[in-house]
Amino acid sequence: MSFNTLTKIIRLTPPGHGAVASTLLHGPHALTIFAQHWIGRELAVTDQPLFGRFRLETIGQNEEIVAHIPNQNEIEFHSHGGEMIAQAIESTLIQDGAGPVSWQEFFCAGKTQPQLALQLLPFAATERTTQILLDQYNGALDRELAEIEKLTGKNTKRLRFNRLKENAKLGKHLVQPFHVVLAGASNAGKSSLFNAILGFQRSIVNILAGTTRDVVSCQTALDGFPVIFYDTAGFRETPHELEQQGIERSRLSIANADLIVWVIDLTVPQSEQPNIPVLENILICFNKADVINSINPTNQEKQTKSEITGKNRITVSATTGQGLEILLEHIIRRLIPNPPKPFEAVPLVEWEIR
């Protein structure tokens, strides 16, 4: 079934792990879309909570839901707080024609840039994003638009407007973290790399393939910008249903990622590696450099890398930390190629700049 995106999905709780994830479905088709996946008493406007289950079509299971329906155009519902459950619910609703928007876009519509900045300031997670929001509160965008208006050259104006459009992509991430997913084959060292990036033991690490069977996430900051890293189940053929579900959740994470770091085990020949997704937002990371250097410093590495082309390739060792700083620099520059300078205008909603 296809609807237009007048019906919006708004995540009310921040991404990451929590006891409960709250979501708002708002628009003229909210009840119709939601009812297609609802298992429980008939949906109707009521001031009482409704208890039931929601069919997660993308991962083939049902999720316990508490729903509140104050009017025909609005359903607020609450599920378990795992990020993958929240994403699976959102993906299911998107398939039926609803469109996701951030809570900032939904609740801040119609407000001026300074008003938006003031409303978002309490949610800034880092000193750098706080300063950018303060610059916007103090009129950075109005000053830039006034300067552009004074220009006479069309090309110069276009370049300045293009810079505003570029910065507008960053605007929503001043309080909403970027999503970076570590993906790849089983036992490629994704969990070890995940822990090395965070600086503490967040994921379980074991020599046995398939140890990670769910998506593990943790928020940190890179170059002063909030980032959530996701450690995912490795891709491989497996008869175990639980691991298969983990792999499906890995695919869902990739679909919702701002950047995918595809981790490759240098000790495994290219012919035995899973296919790398053909995506623009992917960064190739060769792991276990310490092992390959101690076994054979040239032949095995050449065999593993031989069929992989492109400039976005980094070699690291999650164990020794070799190349880790370079990897993090590549990640943040892929997310934010040209970070804003002090006092520069950063539009907080993309459609403000035409």
Weakest-pLDDT range from 9-23, 179-193, 207-221, 235-249: 235-249
**Using an 8 Å Cβ cutoff, are 246 and 214 in contact?**
yes
pLDDT at 303: 47
Q: Who wins on pLDDT, 163 or 5?
A: 163
**Using an 8 Å Cβ cutoff, are 171 and 135 in contact?**
no
Residue 118 has pLDDT above 50, yes or no: yes
pLDDT at 350: 63
pLDDT at 297: 47
pLDDT at 242: 52
**Summary mean pLDDT of the chain:** 81
What are the structure tokens assigned to 241, written together? 């249903």
Q: Kindly report, residue by residue over 224-233, the tens digit of the pLDDT.
A: 999 999 988 7
Confidence label for 61 from pLDDT (cuts 50, 70 and 90)? confident
Confidence label for 167 from pLDDT (cuts 50, 70 and 90)? very high
* Residues near 276 by beta carbon (within 8 Å), at least 6 away in sequence: 262, 282, 284, 308
pLDDT at 143: 94
d(CA 133, CA 290) in angstroms, rounded, equals 42
Residue 1 has pLDDT above 50, yes or no: no
Residue 81 has pLDDT above 70, yes or no: yes
R_g over Cα of the chain = 23
Average pLDDT, integer, range 323-335: 94
d(CA 256, CA 90) in angstroms, rounded, equals 10
Q: In this prediction, what percent of the chain has a pLDDT beyond 90?
A: 33
Residue 304 has pLDDT above 60, yes or no: no
Confidence label for 127 from pLDDT (cuts 50, 70 and 90)? very high
Weakest-pLDDT range from 89-98, 101-110, 265-274, 304-313: 304-313
pLDDT at 165: 92
Weakest-pLDDT range from 12-21, 151-160, 166-175, 261-270: 12-21
Q: Which domains does the chain have, with CATH numbers?
A: 8-101 (3.30.1360.120), 110-174+338-352 (no CATH), 178-322 (3.40.50.300)
Residue 70 has pLDDT above 80, yes or no: yes
Residue 138 has pLDDT above 70, yes or no: yes
* Residues near 306 by beta carbon (within 8 Å), at least 6 away in sequence: 270
> Of all helices (H) and strands (E), which one includes residue 336?
none
Q: Who wins on pLDDT, 159 or 248?
A: 159
Cα within 13 Å of Cα(338), Cβ side: 10
20-26/8-11 β-pairing: antiparallel
d(CA 308, CA 269) in angstroms, rounded, equals 11
